[in-house]
Amino acid sequence: MCIYVSDTLYIVCCTDIDDCGLRYVLAVGHDTYLMKTLSPAQRLHFQKTGFSFSNIIWGFHSESEEVGNVL
C-alpha cells in the first residue's frame, strides 16, 4: 500500500503499516491538505491550534519503520 501525503512532504510505501502509523500518516495528510486549502483567516486559526499532540503520539507508537523514519 502506498499512501500519498503531499507533493512536497513524503510518500509512505509499505505492505504492513500498522494502525498507529496509518493514523499518523493520515493526520499529517489532513493537516497538509487543510493548510493548502483554507482561507488565510481560517489557516491562521488552524495554525494557532497546531498539530494535535495525540497525532504525534500515534506516530511514536507505530512499529512501522517507514513511519519512524519520517518522525
Render pLDDT for 19-59 as a digit per residue (tens, 0 to 9): 888 888 888 888 888 888 999 999 998 888 888 888 888 88
Question: Do residues 70 and 9 lie in contact, with contact meaning Cβ atoms separated by under 8 Å?
Answer: no
- Mean pLDDT is lowest, of 6-10, 18-22, 41-45, 65-69, for 6-10
pLDDT of the residue at 5: 53
- Cα–Cα distance for residue pair 61/18, rounded to 1 Å: 10
Question: Do residues 58 and 69 lie in contact, with contact meaning Cβ atoms separated by under 8 Å?
Answer: no
- Domain spans of the chain, in order of start: 2-70
